[in-house]
Structures are given as structure tokens and as C-alpha cells.
Structure 1
Amino acid sequence: MKIKIDDIPEAGLELSLKEEGTALGEAAGGTLDFSFPSPVEAHLEFSRTGPNVQVSGEIKAQIRLNCGRCLNEFDHDISLYFSDYFTAGRAVEKDKELKPEDMDISYLEGTEIDTTAMILGQIALDVPIQPLCKEDCKGLCTKCGADLNITECACDKGDKIDPRLAKLKDLKK
């Protein structure tokens, strides 16, 4: 959904959105490492001062991820609050170092704010770096690939020594 800046009254604008996850996934063009098993809910508040717009809101979503240890799919709940400030003008050059005060500013390209892109960006920032299906996930056996959460593997647990380095073991004696 796109909001025209001129349509935002000086008193502000509030929107409650509920978008299907498949529509958000399609809007991202297949670049996401997760999917949406259920609709995404967002409550957004827009306030405008001249050409500048402050957007704050709350997003609730459920995303489907792959565990970083056992590779099983699991659902992860997201509930976040955010605030973003949009201003007219050109974005800073790519090779230029940003000042701390520039980090909180988004530059408008045109006369509209794309709420779908904003919601996707906020959700992407909240995805864990190494998602885990549970805190104590045991992962996969490095030798046979068995899921250690489900079964014990039958691999030899003894220390296998590389035959090229076996003679070094005798140095300890």
C-alpha cells in the first residue's frame, strides 16, 4: 500500500493494516529467507510537518524460518515497535560515511511512502541472525547427519585421529 504524502493531514493519520503473508512475500520478489504462514498486522501512525513525515507503529507477524542447527522449519513470532523519519531530498552517496544523526533518516523518492516495503524492512531487521527452533536444539550429527533432537546416532564416538598425525600422539608419553 502506498500513502501519498499530500494525503496525510497536519493532524496526522492512523492506519491499521492486515496483509496476507503471500502478498508481502511476492512484494519482496523472492529475496526473503523466510515466509509468512499467517497475515501480518500493522498499526501505523503518520504525522507530517511540511514535506517531512514521521511514521511510528507496531507490527505483529509470524514468520517461518529454518533452524540454524537442525534445518527443521519452525514458526517465529514477531512483535515490534518502530519509528522512521522520512524527509525530502537526495539520499547520501553510497561511498560516503554516515553521521549518527543520518542513520535515522530515510529519504523520500517521489511523493509516496510504500508501507509494504517499510513493513518488510522492519520485519527483516527483527529476524534472528541464527534462528533456533528451540534454545537447546542439538542440531545434526556432523558425521551421519542424523537429527540429534529425534534420535541418537550410531556413529563411533571415539576420537578418530588423522593417520598422518598419529605419531604425534606418542610424543605425550
Structure 2
Amino acid sequence: MKLLVDRLGDSPRSESFEADAAWWETASARLPELGSADRRDFRFCVDAHRMGQDLYLGGVVEGQLELECGRCLNRYRLPLHESFRVVLEPAGDRSPAEPEAAAALARDGLCLGDDIETGWFRGRELELGPFLEEVVALAIPAHPVCREDCLGLCPQCGADRNLGECGCREARPESPFAALRALRRPSDQGES
């Protein structure tokens, strides 16, 4: 997933990429959720152009992920349609302070700044794979839920409450002061 900087002009140039086996292997090791993605339907569309010395990259990542619901533990498919944009300025002789960012700039020709919308580039060729991996990582929900009204599992018997009532009574939480009742003297029982 390489982008040649010399080919970019003032008008946007569209590139489409399909993730190859090497990208899937690297990305799946870092993001286990990608291990069950439908690889045939994963596309990366990038529009790139120059803005003076800077480069503008925008586009969309499309695909489907198979995730585990955090409430009911059932697997479900999440359609992914994540837009992105980033403005990269030439790094020149500068180097990022963070060693990981400096290594990415040397290895991939680009590194992101403190946010995903700005960064630096160096060289004539940009390896977009790690950047697109970041875009996908940010699109994965922190707490995946199969649907908003998912009832989850019964905390007592573990039954999926989406399939029906399990018959368990809802346990009332015990007061945090219940242990203190045992410490009361018999003469204190009548006092409030």
C-alpha cells in the first residue's frame, strides 16, 4: 500500500488498495478483532494531493468486522465505513521526539502527530499500511454491543436474556453496612 509522492499534484489523485496477506498478518497480530474480518470486502480508498509543501490524504476504509458483544458474548458483524483525513508536512531534518514515531518515519515515510489528523512525511514513497491500521483500530468500538437494547447475560445463571426470561430473581444488593449489624450489642437493638 504505497503512495508515490512525486505523482501527487494540486488536484486529488484517487488510489484504491486491497489489504494483502502481509498487511492482514501484521494488523491481526496487533488487533485481534481483525482476525475474523471478511477479508474479501475490506477496501481502502485514498484521495491524495499536495497543498503547497504539505500532503493531504483523505479517504475511507470499508469492510466488515466480526466482534463479540460485551453484554451477551454473541458474535455479530459490524459494518465499517470509516472516513479519515490527515495533513502531512515535510519532516525535513527534523525528527519526532518519540522513538516509536521516529522509527515509523524512517520505516514508512510518514508518522502521525499527537492526533491522527496531522503528521510528517519524508521521502518519495509512503507506506500507508500502518496508518490505515490506525484508522481501523480507532473505528473498532471500545465496548462492542450487538444492538443498543441488548439485555446481556443473567448475572446469576449466565443465560442470554435476549432469548427470554431465565426465571432468576433479581438479587438485591446487600447494604455495605450489613456487617456492622453483627457488631451491635443487644442493648443497642432498641435504639435508632
Q: TM-score, normalised by structure 1?
A: 0.74
Whether 2:85 is the aligned partner of 1:83: answer yes
Q: In the comparison of the two structures, how many residue pairs are matched? A: 165
Larger Rg: 2
Change (3 A) 1:109 1:153: farther
Q: How far apart are the structure 1 equivalents of 2:27 and 2:149? A: 32
Distance 1:146 1:119 in 2: 38
SS at match of 1:42: strand
1:135 Cα offset (Å): 0.8
Distance in structure 1 (CA, Å) of the matches to 2:114 and 2:179: 58
* Structure 1 residues 91 and 146, CA gap change in structure 2 (3 angstroms): farther
SS in 2 for 1:34: helix
Q: Which has the higher helix share?
A: 2
Which amino acid is the alignment partner of residue 5 of structure 1?
A: V
Which sits farther off after the overlay, 2-11 or 119-128?
Answer: 2-11
Indicate if the aligned counterparts of 1:27 and 1:116 stay in contact, CA closer than 8 A.
Answer: no
Structure 2 match to 1:34: 33
* 1:136 corresponding residue in structure 2: 149
Cα distance per residue 1:93-141 (max 9 Å; x no partner): 24xxxxxx96432122554322222222112212222111011111111
Q: Does 1:63 align with 2:65?
A: yes
Give me the whole-angstrom Cα distance separating, in 2, the residues matched to 1:166 and 1:154. Answer: 29
In structure 1, the residue corresponding to 2:33 is in which secondary structure? coil
Look up the equivalent residue of 2:68 and give its one-letter code. N
Q: 1:132 to 1:91 in 2, by over 3 A?
A: farther
Cα deviation for residue 84 of structure 1 reads 0.7
Q: TM-score when scaled to structure 2?
A: 0.68
- Give the match's secondary structure for 2:25: helix
Q: How far is the alpha carbon of 1:56 from its aligned partner?
A: 1.0
Q: State how 1:1-173 maps to structure 2 within 5 Å.
A: 1-9=1-9, 11-19=11-19, 24-35=23-34, 36-38=37-39, 39-49=41-51, 52-89=54-91, 90=94, 92-94=96-98, 103=115, 104-108=117-121, 110-159=123-172, 161=174, 165=178, 168=181
Cα separation, partners in 2 of 1:109 and 1:147, compared to 1, 3 Å: farther
Please give the alpha-carbon distance, in whole angstroms, between the structure 2 residues aligned to 1:32 and 1:111. 29
Cα distance change on mapping 1:105 and 1:158 into 2, 3 Å: closer
* Whole-Å separation in 1 of the counterparts to 2:59 and 2:163: 41
Cα gap change, 1:23 to 1:145, in 2 (>3 Å): farther
Gaps of 5+ in 1: 95-100
Aligned to 2:103: none
Q: Is there any run of 5+ residues in structure 2 with no aligned partner, and where?
A: 99-112, 183-188
